[in-house]
Structure 1
Amino acid sequence: MPVNFQGELNLLGHVPVEPLQAAVSAFDEARWSEDQSRQKRFDAHSSTSTVKLIFDADYRHRDPTVHPAFGELRSLIEPAIALIRTTYSQTMRQRRWIARHGEGYFIRMILTRLAPKAIIKPHADGGHSLSRCHRIHLPILSNPNCHFQVGGTTLVMKPGEVWEINNRLTHAVSNDGDEPRVHLILDYVQPGETVLDHDGALVA
Structure 2
Amino acid sequence: MSHAVLSPAANPRKTTSIRKLGPVDIAALRAAVLAVPEHVWDAENANKPNKFEVLDTTRHIVFRFIDNPRDWRGSHDCPAWPQWRGVLEPVLAQAVRGFDYGRGIFPRVMLARMPRGGVIHPHIDTNPAAKWPHKIHVPLLTNVGVVSFFGGQEHHFPAGGAVEVNNLGPHWVHNRGDTDRVHLIFEYYDADQPEPSWLEPFLLAGAAR
TM-score, scaled relative to structure 1 = 0.81
- Tell me which of 33, 54, 61 is aligned to 1:51: 61
Q: Structure 1 CA distance, aligned partners of 2:66 and 2:10?
A: 26
Gaps of 5+ in 1: none
2:39 matched to which residue of 1? 30
State which drifts further: 64-73 or 179-188.
64-73
1:169 matched to which residue of 2? 169
User: What displacement does 1:203 show?
Assistant: 6.4
Give the secondary-structure state (helix, strand or coil) at the position aligned to 2:154.
strand
2:206 matched to which residue of 1? none
User: What displacement does 1:17 show?
Assistant: 1.2
TM-score, scaled relative to structure 2 = 0.79
Q: Structure 1 CA distance, aligned partners of 2:198 and 2:175?
A: 34
User: What displacement does 1:192 show?
Assistant: 5.0
1:152 matched to which residue of 2? 152
| Cα RMSD for the two superposed structures | 2.6
Question: Is the 1:194–1:203 Cα contact (8 Å) retained in structure 2?
Answer: no
Q: Structure 2 CA distance, aligned partners of 1:202 and 1:9?
A: 26
Distance 1:25 1:71, change over 3 A: same
Q: Structure 2 CA distance, aligned partners of 1:27 and 1:16?
A: 19
Give the secondary-structure state (helix, strand or coil) at the position aligned to 1:81.
helix
User: What displacement does 1:38 show?
Assistant: 4.9
Q: Structure 2 CA distance, aligned partners of 1:13 and 1:48?
A: 26
Q: Structure 2 CA distance, aligned partners of 1:2 and 1:142?
A: 30
2:178 matched to which residue of 1? 178
1:12 matched to which residue of 2? 21
Q: Structure 1 CA distance, aligned partners of 2:24 and 2:35?
A: 20
User: What displacement does 1:184 show?
Assistant: 0.5
1:122 matched to which residue of 2? 122
Is 1:64–2:65 an aligned residue pair? no
User: What displacement does 1:85 show?
Assistant: 4.3
